[in-house]
Structure 1
Amino acid sequence: MAIARSFARVAGTLPVELSETLMVAQKTKSPLLLTAGAAALLVAGGGGAYWYLSQSKAAPEDLPVGAEVIPQDALIAISVTTEPGQWQKLREFGTVQSQAAFDKSLAEVRDRLLTANGFDYQKDIQPWVGEEVTVAFLGPKAPVTSPAIPPNQQSLVVVLPIRDPLKAKEILEQPRPQGGKLNNRSYKGFDIKETQGTAQAFSATAIDGKYLLVTNDPKATDRAIDAYKGEATLASTPGYSQALGQVKVPQAFGKVYVNLPAAAVVTAANTGRSLSPQNLEQLQQNQGVAATATLEPEGIQLKSVSWLKPDSIRKFDGKNTASVMPTRLPADTIVMASGGNLKKFWQDYSQGAAANPVTPINPDVIRSGIKSTVGMDWEQDFLPWMDAEFAIALAAAPEGTPASLPFSLLIMTKASDRRAAEATLKKLDDAMVERYKFKVEETTVAGKPVTAWTVPQGGAIINRGWLDGDITFLSLGAPIASAIVPRPTKPLADSEAFKKAIPAGLNPNNGHFYLNVDEAINAKKFPILQLPPGNRELVAAVRSLGITAAVSGDRTTRYDVFVGLQKAGNPKPLPNPTVPPASPSPIPVVPPPQ
């Protein structure tokens, strides 16, 4: 578990903002995506929006549709295409089992939201809706307290562009069976229809014949109208349009925006964590993350950018110096995280940990752990010479290795001062002898000196040595030194699995994260990486995960993500629509003016 957490920590900070985004999404996924899946079916009932949104993926061209209606303080905004061919392509991914599970969930939500209210997507929505739809999640308007948002009260705004106003009026004015009553009201010149006396409230209004605005909260409707009437909007977010320009792609599937400071504050409140004024000020240095996604033959490609506010005191180090580590790791590496500067990485991580409500490991745990186990100071003894490229990896054990040692943990770092590094490592050798009675001896591998730590009658436990004069390595577990000294005969960088998983567009870059899901989890070769039974079906649809990060300016960072997926082929038709037994909540619709 400790090893798994260390990988999460390293991989999640390439850059640090990516960790915040992914962890915020994980913390808020259940309540948010239940509502998101429901709203998405208003525009993609026959295509797979529920699955897509539940994975928090996206893709674009310019600003998302309806950006001038979405309040600027929205936590997350997701836009997806309504083009049927792209949805069909998405639904081809996965295993037969995951396709069946998805289809069942999709049909259940379709029936609950559309069929039960007399709607059919192909007949009633598709004829008039535009090329994409946007779903936004709003945070609380008032100052955030704990808990900020109860799970069942997440405010949601869905913006459906009206491509054909006459067709929309014709279809939406048709009488339909609905449970409950509709209430009419007006706000700033807009006529609004809302449900009354039902478990799930809905509010809807037409925005100048351009959009159909649907929310699950009357106050969210008012906030969207306020934004449209002149208050700050997503479209006016500083740096947003420029950020999307950096990740613009043809044939995009959708796009996503995460308001980093707002999402982090809400997450902290919901998890009961308090933030000091200093930590809040640090959070406010961030602006957001924007991403676009495309469907590739073997998976989903996301191009992402995070940026700081224009007046932020904080700035990014503009150096992209990671290039060597994938060539020094063996081809059967299962998971790896690399970066350009371990010392700088640690400084950024430790400084941001207090302000990040979802930090996986407190930096003090690392400091105190090293101090208590070997009596050394992490920041004084190790970091001064670790200001260059580094990697942490798990590699499969060589053939013939006992089953009790299925992998080796590898740590590599380029030393800027070899003399200081050797002094630190010698001190570490002495600590292992004095404290744990290890036997430390010099051996050779391929003619190169390697230091082995062994327990009497226990065999080799840890090997350490040098590669190319300035790269030091330490391996724990299976004996793997012969696979990397003096260099791998088959390096990770040349393996087909790695080349397919790691996006090649960002060069130079500041590091990678790579996970061979097929080998690590699906093949059940690594017990420490196994998941609970409830998650295995979803993970079985994934082949690999690759991330490449790069600093693109003093206030912007880029990272590309590729999720390699299984492909089961053409999915079966969805089950026939059925009306759920429970009384439906009506979805009010407001036909646009002619």
Structure 2
Amino acid sequence: MVQNKPLLKKPPLPLLVAAALLFVGGGILSFWVAARRGQLARTLPAGANAIPADALMVVALSSDEAQWRRLRQFGTEATQAQFDQLLVQWRDRLLAEQNLTFARDIQPWVGPEITLAVLPDTAPAADLPPSLPAPELALRSNVVMVLPIADANRAQSDLGERLGQAEQAEDAPYRGVTLQQLEGQADAPLYAAVLSAETALLSPQLPLLKRAIDAYRGGESLVNRPGVGKAFEQLTETRPLARFYVDVPALAETVAANADPPIAPSRLRAFQTPRGLVGAVAVKNRGVALQGVSWLEPGAQTFATGNQADQMPQRLPTGTLLAVSGGDFQQFWEDFQAGEQFSALFPLQADEVALGLQSATGLSLEENLLPWMAGEFAVGVLSPPAGPSDTPPLPNPALVLMVKASDREAATATFEQLDAVMTSRYRFAVDTVDMGGVPVTRWTAPFDSLVMAYGWLEGDVAFFTVGQGIADLVAPSPGRRLAENNLFQATTGEAPRPNNGHFFANLEALSEAENNLLLPPLPQEGLLGSEAIEAIGVTATVLSDRQVRYDMTAILKRGDRPADLPSPDADPAEP
């Protein structure tokens, strides 16, 4: 008996198309997510998928010995020796006590970079904040080293033999990974795990090694940390000596907990906002360059957008010793007042500055100055001009402040009020002189002990100077501009244009400057002293309302060709 088959109703064509698109789209989406995760893993430091997401700091160091040799050629004989000693101390810090050396046991097979991740302490000391390691111990005990394997055969012959002799740390593998304990001269052992043919791990703490395995097996890793991958993608350096990631609030808390004297809470406010920082350090022909990207994690706080700083390097003279510029003084003051970003590191507080101004002049910063200062600005400490050769030189502040006025009429009214204050309260002589077609008003103290001046440059730029002969250096325009200075070009030339402002310090000239009242004594010796560093430049560029890029370059003095670093077994050199 033949049964009639029920008729199957065909779905409408649009539904079939939608289903097909959904199927294909879902496959594409899955493929994109997988590919994107793989792309991020390649963009991030090596082994990022084995680094737990709550890492406090991650540093990926190049294993290219030639790059480190290039870095070692900079500096004086003394600073080169100090840097070499530092490298020797850290080269085998985790390894030497286990009878391992980097050159013999790791370098022949390791990939292009080695990643060190500092993780939260599993057993913090009682006097430290929870989950944060003591800084001086972090790179010794709270670190996981991720070693990418570039030559599996060589790794097997070099490290594999040592692992074959090692005991298992536990009876059973952890999540399919064998944990091994390397015995050495140290009281604490070193634990090792091979995750795959491409990745191995080392750590002095077994719990941290397990946490890295958890991240690798699908747990929350650095790859999943919001903003990290996008920030690393913004870095354009192709041959970094080192790359890094910092959890800024956690690092600030660590520093604050161990600072002596304690850091005031108001100065830490800027660093407690959930934010991260990544960067790349590279060796250049004349020194070292750092490119960094800072970002805010999801939340209400955002960065003020806009890159309006482009004039001030043309306004300051080439003899500028120290300069800070920005795109909007009102925004700068708002951040300074709120303790936002790096203004929290300034030695003065915003309230102290405002109160001091009001006490000295009777003017309110909020009411009399800020309303017309919504424009680009710069503060510079200049090289004082030479005085008469037959008289001893007098101390000279050599200070200049420039602001592009957003309301010239209001600014003029403020200057007129200041004229009256300087005459009536301080008995300064007030007169106006012509400097190359620019009317300049001078305030001269009794006995000519101090001269201050102000005027207007082209484009509604107001300037104010403190010091004898300083107005002549900026009005009507510098004879030679800071933008033409070789050191300024070398330290800021690679930064984006336009940008949000610069910081520039000519350390070599600063160390030789005389009679400047505003310059504190500079460290002459050491790795960070003026005998090794010629100049430093930093440029900030706002990428979006959640990302800021920083470009920093240090011009270093070049020393003699470095010799090979001593082997771990060599006796320490005589100081």
Q: Which residue of 2 aligns with 1:302?
A: 290
Q: Which residue of 2 is the match for residue 54 of structure 1?
A: none
**Counterpart-to-counterpart distance in 2, 1:262 and 1:541:** 32
Structure 1: runs of 5 or more not aligned: 1-59, 582-594
Mapped partners of 2:144, 2:231: distance in 1: 23
User: Quick check: 2:60–2:113 contact (8 Å CA) kept in 1?
Assistant: yes
Indicate how the Cα distance of structure 1 residues 489 and 533 shifts in structure 2: closer, same or farther if over 3 A, else same.
closer
Distance change in 2, residues 1:71/1:578 (3 Å): same
CA contact (8 A) 2:98 2:186 kept: no
Q: Does the C-alpha gap of structure 1 residues 356 and 68 become closer, same or farther in structure 2, counting only changes over 3 Å?
A: farther
Alignment of structure 1 residues 215-364 onto 2, 5 Å: 215-271=203-259, 286-309=274-297, 311-353=298-340, 360-364=347-351
Q: Could you tell me the percent identity over the aligned residues? A: 35
Alignment partner of 2:103 out of 122, 141, 146:
122
Cα 1:450/1:159, change in 2 over 3 Å: same
User: Could you say what secondary structure the match of 2:412 adopts?
Assistant: helix
TM-score calculated relative to the size of structure 2: 0.80
Which residue does the alignment assign to 2:52?
71
List per-residue Cα deviations over 1:44-73 (Å, max 9, x = no partner). Answer: xxxxxxxxxxxxxxxx97110011111112
1:371 counterpart = 2:358: yes
In the other structure, the counterpart of 2:535 is 544
Which residue of 43, 48, 51 corresponds with 1:62?
43
SS at match of 1:578: coil
Residues 200-230 of structure 1 show CA distances to partners (whole Å, capped at 9, x for unaligned) of 6643332234333222433332332232233
1:178-209 per-position Cα deviation (integer Å, ceiling 9, x unaligned): 9xx98823644431426699566643332234
Q: Offset of 1:547 from its aligned partner?
A: 1.6
* Greater Cα offset, 463-472 or 198-207: 198-207
Could you tell me which runs of 5 or more consecutive residues in structure 2 were left unpaired when the two chains were aligned. 1-40
Instruction: Name the amino acid aligned to 1:374.
Output: T
Alpha-carbon separation, structure 2, partners of 1:434 and 1:144: 61
What does 1:6-25 correspond to in 2, within 5 Å? Answer: none
Once residues 140 and 116 of structure 1 are traced to their aligned partners in structure 2, the CA distance between those partners, rounded to angstroms, is: 22
Q: Distance in 1 between matches of 2:194 and 2:376?
A: 55
Structure 1 residue 99 displacement after superposition: 1.2
Q: Using the alignment, how far apart are the partners of 2:125 and 2:86 within structure 1?
A: 34
- 1:215-264 per-residue CA deviation (whole Å, 9 max, x = no partner) reads 24333323322322333211112122222222133233231112223323
- Give distance in 2, aligned partners of 1:320 and 1:492: 20
Provide the C-alpha distance between the structure 2 equivalents of 1:524 and 1:187, rounded to a whole number of angstroms: 65
Q: Cα distance 1:364–1:567, how it changes in 2: closer, same or farther (>3 A)?
A: same
Partners of 2:209 and 2:46 in 1: CA distance: 17
Amino acid at match of 1:240: V
Contact 1:524 1:530 in 2 (8 A): no
Pair 1:101–1:480, CA change in 2 (3 A): same
CA distance in 2, matches of 1:429, 1:535: 47
TM-score (norm 1): 0.78
Shift of residue 157, structure 1, vs aligned partner = 2.0
| Kept in 2: contact 1:398–1:480 (CA 8 A) | yes
Q: Is the 8 A contact 2:252 2:272 kept in 1?
A: no
Return the alpha-carbon distance in structure 1 between the equivalents of residues 471 and 157 of structure 2: 72
Q: For residues 386 and 537 of structure 1, do their structure 2 counterparts lie closer, same or farther at Cα, with a shift above 3 Å needed?
A: closer
Q: Deviations over 1:76-129 (max 9, x none)?
A: 211121112222222222222211222234345557765665444333221111
After superposition, the Cα gap between the structure-2 partners of 1:490 and 1:302, relative to the gap in structure 1 and judged at 3 Å, is same
Q: How far apart, CA to CA, are the structure 2 residues paired with 1:207 and 1:355?
A: 40
Aligned residue pairs total: 515
* Distance in 2 of aligned mates of 1:235 and 1:124: 29
**Distance in 2 between the 1:379 and 1:144 partners?**
46
2:73 paired with 1:83: no
**Counterpart check, 1:136 vs 2:105:** no
Aligned to 2:50, the other structure's residue is in SS state: coil
Which whole-Å CA distance do the structure 1 matches of 2:264 and 2:543 have between them? 33
Which residue of the other structure, out of 486, 489, 494, is the alignment partner of 1:499?
A: 489
| CA–CA separation in structure 1 for the residues paired with 2:527 and 2:248 | 30
Q: Which moved more, 1:79-88 or 1:141-150?
A: 141-150
Secondary structure of residue in 2 paired with 1:168 = helix
* 8 Å Cα contact 2:271/2:341 also seen in 1: no
Q: Deviations along 1:267-308, whole A, 9 cap, x unmatched?
A: 3444456869xx98x867543122123322112222222222
Structure 2 counterpart SS, 1:264: helix
Report which stretch shifted further, 536-545 or 377-386. 536-545
Q: Distance in 2 between matches of 1:469 and 1:365?
A: 31
Task: Read off the aligned partner of 1:126 and give its amino acid letter.
Answer: Q
Quickly say closer, same or farther: Cα 1:156–1:362, change in 2 above 3 A: farther
* Corresponding residue SS for 1:166: helix
What is the letter of the counterpart of residue 260 of structure 1? V
Larger Rg: 2
Bigger relative contact order, structure 1 or 2 (CA pairs below 8 A, ≥6 apart): 1
Contact 1:71/1:227 (8 A) holds in 2: yes
Give the SS at the match of 1:326. Answer: helix
Question: Distance between the aligned counterparts of 1:195 and 1:372, measured in 2?
Answer: 68
Hey, what does 1:390 align to over in structure 2?
377
Q: CA deviation at 1:144?
A: 12
Does the C-alpha gap of structure 1 residues 535 and 320 become closer, same or farther in structure 2, counting only changes over 3 Å? same
Equivalent residue number for residue 558 of structure 1: 549
**Residues of 2 paired with 1:145 and 1:521: CA distance?**
44
Q: 1:138 to 1:434 in 2, by over 3 A?
A: farther
Structure 1 residues 126 and 525, CA, compared in 2 at 3 Å: closer, same or farther? Answer: farther
Are 1:161 and 2:148 matched, yes or no? yes
Residue in 2 that maps onto 1:99: 80
Aligned AA (1:158): M
> Residue type of the partner of 1:482?
D
Question: Does 1:431 pair with 2:421?
Answer: yes
Letter in 2 for 1:225: I
Q: Distance in 2 between matches of 1:70 and 1:159?
A: 8
Q: Secondary structure at the match of 1:436?
A: coil
Amino acid at match of 2:461: I
Shift of 1:357: 7.5
Q: Confirm or deny: 8 A CA contact 1:397 1:408 kept in the other structure.
A: yes
- How do 1:175-254 residues align onto structure 2 when only pairs under 5 Å count? 184-185=169-170, 187-190=174-177, 191-193=179-181, 198=186, 202-254=190-242
Partners of 2:90 and 2:229 in 1: CA distance? 34
CA distance in 2, matches of 1:274, 1:496: 39
CA offsets 1:453-508 (integer angstroms, 9 cap, x no match):
22211344212221115111111124211121111121111222221221344011
Would you say the 8 A contact 1:503–1:562 is kept in 2? no
Q: Counterpart of 2:502?
A: 512
Of the three residues 476, 480, 504, the one matched with 1:490 is: 480
Contact 2:101 2:568 in 1 (8 A): no
Greater shift, 263-272 or 543-552, is seen at 263-272
Contact 1:386 1:416 in 2 (8 A): yes
